[in-house]
């Protein structure tokens, strides 16, 4: 299955959608959240650097941000870890407005949701708030590698590492008549592809900027990171925010104010920096 970031781009740019029926799953508007003293937050399972388990402790950018949001509301966090379904529309159904058919209830807010008008229009059961990061696909090459386009020679002839079934995978295997198909090397995760780049087993890696920076860590200076333009495959960059159920708009407004304050006072940049990621505010933030 494509990684979370790649699935976002595919669904955001897709023109078709299906209509879901709301079945009455309970939302948790602001007054109920504050009265009960808990904010139930949905985060993706194993989605570094945004949410992951480290020594069995839940950590990551989204985890730290959700804690700051809860602090602003004066409540504690109740975590809901979710696995990625076929697309983010399904994830919103399972985590926010309906609940999974296996049970488990719904969350008050879901993190790392594409903040996009078209995506919001086809998911009327939820409302998107608080854009907090501009994400993008990039290529990662060792410093000093030949510059230029994506000709095999410019890439060092050592392969292009991608996560299998990701958007960069589709781009490099099909664009230009598939002339780079033989250069593509598949990995089960973006982190595995980056590790192959660190070890010199591939000359180029195509992942998101946050995945690259967080995984490269102190070796970041050894590599050149460049925005990956994918003509014919849509945007290379997009914004992420949070989602609440449609009748919990009052909760979303307060969260949006908290997030805007964190961006303005540098708190958001500090959260991202703790995981080695350069913070890039979304447009108009």
Residue 189 has pLDDT above 90, yes or no: yes
Question: Do 190 and 163 meet the contact criterion of CB atoms below 8 Å apart?
Answer: yes
User: Same domain, yes or no, for 41 and 174?
Assistant: no
Point out the least confidently predicted range of 14-28, 73-87, 180-194, 195-209: 14-28
Residue 24 has pLDDT above 90, yes or no: no
Residue 23 has pLDDT above 50, yes or no: no
pLDDT score at 179: 84
Residue 147 has pLDDT above 90, yes or no: no
Residue 97 domain-assigned (yes or no)? yes
Residue 11 has pLDDT above 70, yes or no: no
Question: Do 52 and 259 meet the contact criterion of CB atoms below 8 Å apart?
Answer: no
User: Same domain, yes or no, for 208 and 141?
Assistant: yes
Query: Given 3-state DSSP classes, what are the helix, strand and coil percentages for the chain, each rounded to the nearest 5?
Result: 40, 25, 35
Question: What pLDDT band is residue 61 in, cutting at 50, 70 and 90?
Answer: very high
Residue 126 domain-assigned (yes or no)? yes
Residue 123 domain-assigned (yes or no)? yes
User: Same domain, yes or no, for 222 and 263?
Assistant: no
Residue 168 has pLDDT above 70, yes or no: yes
pLDDT score at 70: 98
Overall domain count for the chain? 2
User: Same domain, yes or no, for 161 and 131?
Assistant: no
Handedness of CA 146, 151, 153, 159 (dihedral sign): positive
Provide the CATH number for the domain around residue 203.
3.40.190.10
Above pLDDT 70, what percent of the chain? 85
What is the per-residue burial (b if ≥16 Cβ within 10 Å, else e) of 153-187?
eebbebbbbbbbebbbbbbbbebeeeebeebbbbb
User: Same domain, yes or no, for 15 and 124?
Assistant: yes
Task: Write out the residue range of the structural domain in which residue 204 sits.
Answer: 136-227
Distances (CA, A) of 224 to 117, 193, 212: 33, 16, 11
Question: What pLDDT band is residue 157 in, cutting at 50, 70 and 90?
Answer: low
Cα gap 268→253, rounded to integer Å:
18
Residue 30 has pLDDT above 60, yes or no: yes
Distances (CA, A) of 212 to 9, 221, 224, 226, 240: 18, 12, 11, 11, 17
Spacing of C-alpha 63 from chain mean position: 13
User: Same domain, yes or no, for 18 and 158?
Assistant: no
User: Same domain, yes or no, for 18 and 90?
Assistant: yes
Residue 285 has pLDDT above 90, yes or no: no
Question: Do 238 and 13 meet the contact criterion of CB atoms below 8 Å apart?
Answer: no
Cα gap 212→141, rounded to integer Å:
11
User: Same domain, yes or no, for 21 and 66?
Assistant: yes
- Beta strand 38-44 with 76-82 is parallel
Above pLDDT 90, what percent of the chain? 69
- Higher-pLDDT residue of 230 and 23 is 230
Question: What pLDDT band is residue 158 in, cutting at 50, 70 and 90?
Answer: confident
Residue 191 domain-assigned (yes or no)? yes
User: Same domain, yes or no, for 175 and 243?
Assistant: no
Mean pLDDT, residues 232-247: 90
User: Same domain, yes or no, for 61 and 125?
Assistant: yes
Residue 232 domain-assigned (yes or no)? no
Round the average pLDDT of the chain to a whole number and report it: 86
Residue 65 domain-assigned (yes or no)? yes
User: Same domain, yes or no, for 46 and 60?
Assistant: yes
Question: What pLDDT band is residue 140 in, cutting at 50, 70 and 90?
Answer: very high
Residue 284 domain-assigned (yes or no)? no
Q: At what angle do helices 249-265 and 61-73 cross, to 10 degrees?
A: 110
- Higher-pLDDT residue of 121 and 144 is 121
Point out the least confidently predicted range of 44-58, 92-106, 135-149, 211-225: 135-149
User: Same domain, yes or no, for 114 and 147?
Assistant: no
| pTM for the model | 0.85
Residue 283 domain-assigned (yes or no)? no
Point out the least confidently predicted range of 96-105, 197-206, 238-247, 249-258: 96-105
Cα gap 255→250, rounded to integer Å:
9
Residue 22 has pLDDT above 80, yes or no: no
């Amino acid at each position: 299955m494509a990684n979370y970031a790649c699935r976002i781009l595919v669904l955001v740019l897709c023109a078709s959608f299906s209509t879901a029926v709301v079945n009455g799953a309970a939302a948790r508007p602001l007054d109920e959240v504050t009265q009960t003293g808990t904010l139930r937050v949905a985060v993706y399972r194993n989605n570094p650097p945004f949410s992951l388990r480290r020594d069995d402790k839940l950590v990551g950018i989204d985890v730290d941000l959700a804690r700051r949001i809860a602090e602003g509301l004066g409540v504690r966090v109740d975590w809901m870890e979710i696995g990625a379904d076929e697309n983010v529309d399904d994830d919103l159904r399972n985590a926010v407005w309906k609940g999974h058919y296996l049970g488990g209830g719904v969350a008050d807010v879901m993190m790392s949701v594409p903040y996009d008008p078209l995506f919001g229009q086809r998911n009327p059961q939820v409302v998107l708030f608080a854009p907090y990061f501009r994400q993008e696909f990039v290529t990662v090459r060792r410093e000093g590698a030949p510059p230029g386009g994506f000709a095999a020679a410019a890439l060092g002839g050592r392969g292009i590492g991608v996560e299998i079934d990701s958007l960069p995978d589709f781009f490099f295997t099909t664009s230009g008549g598939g002339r780079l198909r033989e250069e593509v090397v598949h990995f089960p995760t973006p982190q595995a592809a980056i590790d192959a780049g660190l070890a010199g087993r591939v000359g180029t890696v195509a992942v998101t900027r946050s995945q690259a920076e967080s995984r490269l860590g102190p070796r970041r200076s050894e590599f050149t990171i460049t925005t990956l333009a994918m003509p014919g495959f849509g945007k290379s960059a997009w914004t992420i925010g949070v989602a609440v159920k449609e009748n919990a708009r009052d909760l979303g407004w307060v969260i949006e104010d908290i997030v805007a304050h964190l961006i303005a006072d540098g708190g958001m940049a500090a959260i991202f920096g703790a995981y080695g990621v350069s913070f890039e505010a979304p447009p108009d933030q």
